Structure 1
Amino acid sequence: QGHQKRLADIEAQIKELQPLQKKFVDVNAQLELQTYELTLFLKRAEQNEHHKLGEAVKKLEVELEEARSQIEEKELAYKNCVDAVSTLENSIKDHDKNREGRLKGLEKKIKTIKAQMQAASKVLKSHENEKEKLVMEEEAMVQEQTSLESQLLSLKTQINTLTSEVDEQRAKV
Protein backbone atom coordinates (compact mmCIF):
# COMPACT_ATOMS: atom_id res chain seq x y z
CA GLN A 1 0.00 0.00 0.00
CA GLY A 2 2.95 2.32 0.69
CA HIS A 3 4.15 1.53 -2.82
CA GLN A 4 0.75 2.52 -4.26
CA LYS A 5 0.80 5.80 -2.37
CA ARG A 6 4.30 6.63 -3.61
CA LEU A 7 3.31 5.65 -7.14
CA ALA A 8 0.28 7.96 -6.91
CA ASP A 9 2.47 10.77 -5.54
CA ILE A 10 4.95 10.39 -8.38
CA GLU A 11 2.17 10.26 -10.97
CA ALA A 12 0.76 13.46 -9.46
CA GLN A 13 4.18 15.09 -9.78
CA ILE A 14 4.35 14.02 -13.42
CA LYS A 15 0.90 15.54 -14.04
CA GLU A 16 2.18 18.80 -12.54
CA LEU A 17 4.87 18.86 -15.21
CA GLN A 18 2.41 18.43 -18.10
CA PRO A 19 1.26 22.12 -18.21
CA LEU A 20 4.91 23.07 -18.72
CA GLN A 21 4.95 20.87 -21.81
CA LYS A 22 1.85 22.62 -23.20
CA LYS A 23 3.36 26.03 -22.52
CA PHE A 24 6.53 24.96 -24.29
CA VAL A 25 4.57 23.79 -27.34
CA ASP A 26 2.62 27.09 -27.38
CA VAL A 27 5.81 29.16 -27.16
CA ASN A 28 7.36 27.11 -29.95
CA ALA A 29 4.27 27.70 -32.15
CA GLN A 30 4.49 31.43 -31.44
CA LEU A 31 8.15 31.39 -32.43
CA GLU A 32 7.30 29.69 -35.74
CA LEU A 33 4.58 32.29 -36.43
CA GLN A 34 6.96 35.16 -35.63
CA THR A 35 9.59 33.54 -37.87
CA TYR A 36 7.08 33.39 -40.72
CA GLU A 37 6.11 37.04 -40.16
CA LEU A 38 9.79 38.02 -40.16
CA THR A 39 10.28 36.15 -43.44
CA LEU A 40 7.41 38.12 -45.01
CA PHE A 41 8.90 41.34 -43.67
CA LEU A 42 12.30 40.45 -45.13
CA LYS A 43 10.79 39.92 -48.59
CA ARG A 44 9.28 43.42 -48.45
CA ALA A 45 12.47 44.95 -47.08
CA GLU A 46 14.58 43.44 -49.90
CA GLN A 47 12.59 45.49 -52.41
CA ASN A 48 13.19 48.71 -50.49
CA GLU A 49 15.89 51.14 -51.64
CA HIS A 50 16.96 51.99 -48.11
CA HIS A 51 20.19 50.11 -47.36
CA LYS A 52 20.10 50.97 -43.66
CA LEU A 53 16.84 49.09 -43.17
CA GLY A 54 18.34 46.07 -44.93
CA GLU A 55 21.21 45.99 -42.45
CA ALA A 56 18.82 46.23 -39.51
CA VAL A 57 16.82 43.32 -40.89
CA LYS A 58 19.99 41.24 -41.19
CA LYS A 59 20.76 41.97 -37.55
CA LEU A 60 17.26 40.83 -36.60
CA GLU A 61 17.80 37.63 -38.57
CA VAL A 62 20.98 36.91 -36.63
CA GLU A 63 19.24 37.52 -33.31
CA LEU A 64 16.33 35.35 -34.36
CA GLU A 65 18.70 32.55 -35.39
CA GLU A 66 20.40 32.78 -32.00
CA ALA A 67 17.01 32.60 -30.29
CA ARG A 68 16.12 29.58 -32.44
CA SER A 69 19.35 27.88 -31.48
CA GLN A 70 18.67 28.48 -27.80
CA ILE A 71 15.10 27.20 -28.20
CA GLU A 72 16.45 24.03 -29.85
CA GLU A 73 18.78 23.52 -26.91
CA LYS A 74 15.85 23.94 -24.52
CA GLU A 75 13.75 21.55 -26.61
CA LEU A 76 16.49 18.94 -26.26
CA ALA A 77 16.71 19.56 -22.51
CA TYR A 78 12.92 19.30 -22.27
CA LYS A 79 12.92 16.04 -24.28
CA ASN A 80 15.61 14.64 -22.01
CA CYS A 81 13.50 15.57 -18.99
CA VAL A 82 10.43 13.90 -20.50
CA ASP A 83 12.50 10.79 -21.32
CA ALA A 84 13.85 10.71 -17.78
CA VAL A 85 10.33 10.95 -16.36
CA SER A 86 9.21 8.14 -18.68
CA THR A 87 12.13 5.98 -17.57
CA LEU A 88 11.27 6.66 -13.95
CA GLU A 89 7.64 5.68 -14.51
CA ASN A 90 8.69 2.39 -16.12
CA SER A 91 11.16 1.70 -13.34
CA ILE A 92 8.47 2.18 -10.70
CA LYS A 93 6.13 -0.23 -12.47
CA ASP A 94 8.80 -2.90 -12.95
CA HIS A 95 10.39 -3.49 -9.61
CA ASP A 96 9.28 -5.20 -6.43
CA LYS A 97 12.56 -5.61 -4.55
CA ASN A 98 13.96 -2.80 -2.45
CA ARG A 99 10.88 -0.72 -3.10
CA GLU A 100 11.33 1.81 -0.35
CA GLY A 101 14.98 2.57 -1.10
CA ARG A 102 14.40 2.81 -4.82
CA LEU A 103 11.29 4.96 -4.42
CA LYS A 104 13.22 7.46 -2.32
CA GLY A 105 15.93 7.60 -4.99
CA LEU A 106 13.34 8.06 -7.72
CA GLU A 107 11.58 10.81 -5.82
CA LYS A 108 14.89 12.61 -5.48
CA LYS A 109 15.46 12.28 -9.24
CA ILE A 110 11.97 13.64 -9.95
CA LYS A 111 12.62 16.64 -7.72
CA THR A 112 15.86 17.28 -9.59
CA ILE A 113 14.11 16.97 -12.95
CA LYS A 114 11.29 19.23 -11.78
CA ALA A 115 13.86 21.85 -10.78
CA GLN A 116 15.51 21.51 -14.20
CA MET A 117 12.16 21.92 -15.94
CA GLN A 118 11.38 25.02 -13.86
CA ALA A 119 14.75 26.44 -14.85
CA ALA A 120 13.99 25.62 -18.49
CA SER A 121 10.63 27.37 -18.10
CA LYS A 122 12.37 30.51 -16.81
CA VAL A 123 14.74 30.44 -19.78
CA LEU A 124 11.78 30.00 -22.14
CA LYS A 125 10.10 33.02 -20.56
CA SER A 126 13.30 34.98 -21.10
CA HIS A 127 13.24 33.92 -24.77
CA GLU A 128 9.59 34.98 -25.01
CA ASN A 129 10.57 38.42 -23.74
CA GLU A 130 13.45 38.60 -26.23
CA LYS A 131 11.11 37.58 -29.04
CA GLU A 132 8.64 40.27 -27.99
CA LYS A 133 11.45 42.84 -28.05
CA LEU A 134 12.44 41.73 -31.57
CA VAL A 135 8.83 42.04 -32.74
CA MET A 136 8.64 45.57 -31.32
CA GLU A 137 11.89 46.48 -33.09
CA GLU A 138 10.50 45.06 -36.31
CA GLU A 139 7.32 47.15 -35.96
CA ALA A 140 9.41 50.29 -35.34
CA MET A 141 11.42 49.60 -38.50
CA VAL A 142 8.23 49.13 -40.52
CA GLN A 143 7.02 52.51 -39.25
CA GLU A 144 10.38 54.09 -40.09
CA GLN A 145 10.21 52.58 -43.58
CA THR A 146 6.69 53.97 -44.08
CA SER A 147 7.86 57.41 -42.93
CA LEU A 148 10.86 57.35 -45.28
CA GLU A 149 8.67 56.29 -48.20
CA SER A 150 6.27 59.15 -47.40
CA GLN A 151 9.18 61.62 -47.30
CA LEU A 152 10.45 60.29 -50.62
CA LEU A 153 7.01 60.75 -52.20
CA SER A 154 6.80 64.30 -50.83
CA LEU A 155 10.24 65.16 -52.21
CA LYS A 156 9.30 63.77 -55.63
CA THR A 157 6.17 65.95 -55.59
CA GLN A 158 8.28 69.03 -54.72
CA ILE A 159 10.71 68.23 -57.53
CA ASN A 160 7.85 67.89 -60.01
CA THR A 161 6.36 71.22 -58.85
CA LEU A 162 9.72 73.00 -59.13
CA THR A 163 10.32 71.45 -62.55
CA SER A 164 6.92 72.74 -63.71
CA GLU A 165 7.71 76.23 -62.37
CA VAL A 166 11.09 76.25 -64.13
CA ASP A 167 9.40 75.16 -67.37
CA GLU A 168 6.84 77.97 -67.00
CA GLN A 169 9.63 80.52 -66.39
CA ARG A 170 11.49 79.25 -69.46
CA ALA A 171 8.34 79.56 -71.52
CA LYS A 172 7.94 83.19 -70.41
CA VAL A 173 11.56 84.01 -71.29
Structure 2
Amino acid sequence: MNLFPLWHRPLASRLAVACSGVLLAGLAALPAWAGDPFRTTNPRPIGDRTEVGFKRLFQEGNYRQAKQDLLSAETSEGSDPLLHAMIASIGYVEGDKKTLSAYASKTLAAAQTLQPQDPVRGNLYIGVGHFLEGVSYYQNQNLFKAIDKLQLVFQFFEARSPWLPTIQK
Protein backbone atom coordinates (compact mmCIF):
# COMPACT_ATOMS: atom_id res chain seq x y z
CA MET A 1 0.00 0.00 0.00
CA ASN A 2 1.55 3.27 -1.11
CA LEU A 3 -0.01 6.30 0.56
CA PHE A 4 2.59 8.60 -0.96
CA PRO A 5 3.39 10.53 -3.00
CA LEU A 6 0.17 12.37 -2.33
CA TRP A 7 0.70 14.92 -5.12
CA HIS A 8 0.21 12.16 -7.70
CA ARG A 9 -3.35 11.56 -6.54
CA PRO A 10 -6.40 13.30 -8.02
CA LEU A 11 -7.51 16.55 -6.39
CA ALA A 12 -10.55 14.97 -4.71
CA SER A 13 -8.35 12.33 -3.14
CA ARG A 14 -5.96 14.98 -1.83
CA LEU A 15 -8.91 16.92 -0.42
CA ALA A 16 -10.23 13.79 1.30
CA VAL A 17 -6.84 13.17 2.88
CA ALA A 18 -6.61 16.82 3.96
CA CYS A 19 -10.11 16.74 5.49
CA SER A 20 -9.25 13.52 7.29
CA GLY A 21 -6.12 15.17 8.66
CA VAL A 22 -8.10 18.14 9.95
CA LEU A 23 -10.64 15.77 11.55
CA LEU A 24 -7.90 13.73 13.19
CA ALA A 25 -6.19 16.87 14.48
CA GLY A 26 -9.48 18.07 15.95
CA LEU A 27 -10.10 14.74 17.60
CA ALA A 28 -6.59 14.66 19.01
CA ALA A 29 -7.28 17.93 20.82
CA LEU A 30 -10.31 16.57 22.64
CA PRO A 31 -9.90 16.55 26.42
CA ALA A 32 -11.92 13.40 27.13
CA TRP A 33 -10.95 10.02 25.73
CA ALA A 34 -13.03 7.72 27.91
CA GLY A 35 -16.46 6.67 26.75
CA ASP A 36 -17.95 9.15 24.33
CA PRO A 37 -14.88 10.72 22.71
CA PHE A 38 -16.81 13.78 21.54
CA ARG A 39 -18.34 15.14 24.75
CA THR A 40 -17.19 16.15 28.20
CA THR A 41 -20.74 16.73 29.49
CA ASN A 42 -23.72 14.44 29.01
CA PRO A 43 -21.64 11.79 27.20
CA ARG A 44 -23.29 9.07 25.15
CA PRO A 45 -22.16 5.56 25.99
CA ILE A 46 -20.02 3.65 23.53
CA GLY A 47 -18.95 0.05 23.89
CA ASP A 48 -15.74 -0.83 25.68
CA ARG A 49 -14.34 -2.61 22.64
CA THR A 50 -15.30 0.27 20.33
CA GLU A 51 -13.50 2.62 22.73
CA VAL A 52 -10.37 0.44 22.61
CA GLY A 53 -10.48 0.53 18.80
CA PHE A 54 -11.01 4.31 18.83
CA LYS A 55 -8.00 4.86 21.09
CA ARG A 56 -5.85 2.49 19.08
CA LEU A 57 -6.81 4.29 15.86
CA PHE A 58 -6.63 7.93 16.95
CA GLN A 59 -4.21 7.95 19.89
CA GLU A 60 -1.77 5.27 18.78
CA GLY A 61 -2.27 5.42 15.01
CA ASN A 62 -2.19 1.61 14.94
CA TYR A 63 -4.61 0.98 12.07
CA ARG A 64 -4.04 -2.76 11.82
CA GLN A 65 -4.70 -3.49 15.48
CA ALA A 66 -7.57 -0.98 15.55
CA LYS A 67 -9.20 -2.82 12.65
CA GLN A 68 -8.95 -6.13 14.51
CA ASP A 69 -10.33 -4.56 17.71
CA LEU A 70 -13.22 -2.98 15.82
CA LEU A 71 -14.08 -6.11 13.87
CA SER A 72 -14.20 -8.08 17.12
CA ALA A 73 -16.36 -5.36 18.70
CA GLU A 74 -18.88 -5.70 15.89
CA THR A 75 -20.43 -8.88 17.32
CA SER A 76 -21.41 -7.27 20.62
CA GLU A 77 -21.47 -3.55 19.80
CA GLY A 78 -22.61 -3.54 16.17
CA SER A 79 -25.40 -1.01 16.65
CA ASP A 80 -22.97 1.91 17.10
CA PRO A 81 -22.44 3.85 13.86
CA LEU A 82 -19.08 5.10 15.17
CA LEU A 83 -17.80 1.51 15.03
CA HIS A 84 -18.83 1.05 11.41
CA ALA A 85 -17.54 4.49 10.38
CA MET A 86 -14.10 3.73 11.78
CA ILE A 87 -13.93 0.37 9.96
CA ALA A 88 -15.01 2.08 6.72
CA SER A 89 -12.32 4.73 7.22
CA ILE A 90 -9.66 2.08 7.73
CA GLY A 91 -10.92 0.40 4.55
CA TYR A 92 -10.38 3.69 2.72
CA VAL A 93 -6.85 4.08 4.08
CA GLU A 94 -6.03 0.49 3.12
CA GLY A 95 -7.49 0.93 -0.37
CA ASP A 96 -10.07 -1.79 0.34
CA LYS A 97 -13.08 -0.63 -1.68
CA LYS A 98 -15.30 -3.52 -0.56
CA THR A 99 -14.76 -2.78 3.14
CA LEU A 100 -15.32 0.94 2.58
CA SER A 101 -18.56 0.32 0.70
CA ALA A 102 -19.92 -2.32 3.08
CA TYR A 103 -19.18 -0.38 6.25
CA ALA A 104 -20.35 2.92 4.78
CA SER A 105 -23.74 1.24 4.30
CA LYS A 106 -23.60 -0.22 7.82
CA THR A 107 -22.78 3.23 9.22
CA LEU A 108 -25.81 4.69 7.48
CA ALA A 109 -28.13 1.87 8.61
CA ALA A 110 -26.98 2.05 12.25
CA ALA A 111 -27.31 5.85 12.23
CA GLN A 112 -30.85 5.70 10.84
CA THR A 113 -31.78 3.31 13.65
CA LEU A 114 -30.18 5.62 16.23
CA GLN A 115 -31.67 8.86 14.88
CA PRO A 116 -35.12 8.71 16.57
CA GLN A 117 -33.59 8.19 20.04
CA ASP A 118 -30.60 10.52 19.63
CA PRO A 119 -31.18 13.09 16.86
CA VAL A 120 -27.79 14.78 17.21
CA ARG A 121 -25.71 11.61 16.91
CA GLY A 122 -28.17 10.04 14.50
CA ASN A 123 -28.11 12.94 12.04
CA LEU A 124 -24.35 13.33 12.45
CA TYR A 125 -23.70 9.70 11.57
CA ILE A 126 -26.30 9.69 8.79
CA GLY A 127 -24.22 12.50 7.30
CA VAL A 128 -21.02 10.52 7.91
CA GLY A 129 -22.59 7.43 6.30
CA HIS A 130 -23.55 9.44 3.22
CA PHE A 131 -20.04 10.92 3.10
CA LEU A 132 -18.45 7.46 3.23
CA GLU A 133 -20.83 6.18 0.56
CA GLY A 134 -19.93 9.21 -1.57
CA VAL A 135 -16.23 8.40 -1.22
CA SER A 136 -17.02 4.84 -2.29
CA TYR A 137 -18.95 6.09 -5.33
CA TYR A 138 -16.11 8.45 -6.23
CA GLN A 139 -13.57 5.62 -6.02
CA ASN A 140 -15.74 3.64 -8.41
CA GLN A 141 -15.78 6.52 -10.91
CA ASN A 142 -19.37 7.58 -10.22
CA LEU A 143 -18.84 11.30 -9.68
CA PHE A 144 -22.51 12.28 -10.03
CA LYS A 145 -23.63 9.90 -7.28
CA ALA A 146 -20.77 11.16 -5.13
CA ILE A 147 -21.95 14.76 -5.58
CA ASP A 148 -25.51 13.75 -4.66
CA LYS A 149 -24.16 12.16 -1.49
CA LEU A 150 -22.24 15.32 -0.63
CA GLN A 151 -25.49 17.30 -0.72
CA LEU A 152 -27.01 14.78 1.71
CA VAL A 153 -24.00 15.13 4.02
CA PHE A 154 -24.65 18.85 4.38
CA GLN A 155 -28.39 18.26 4.78
CA PHE A 156 -27.94 15.87 7.71
CA PHE A 157 -25.17 17.87 9.35
CA GLU A 158 -27.53 20.85 9.26
CA ALA A 159 -30.43 18.71 10.55
CA ARG A 160 -28.60 18.08 13.81
CA SER A 161 -28.30 21.82 14.51
CA PRO A 162 -31.64 22.37 16.30
CA TRP A 163 -30.52 19.97 19.04
CA LEU A 164 -27.12 21.59 19.57
CA PRO A 165 -26.67 24.18 22.31
CA THR A 166 -26.77 27.79 21.21
CA ILE A 167 -23.30 29.25 20.82
CA GLN A 168 -22.75 32.36 22.93
CA LYS A 169 -21.05 35.25 21.12
- Which of the pair has the greater relative contact order for Cα pairs under 8 Å at 6+ separation? 1
Q: TM-score, normalised by structure 1?
A: 0.26
Larger Rg: 1
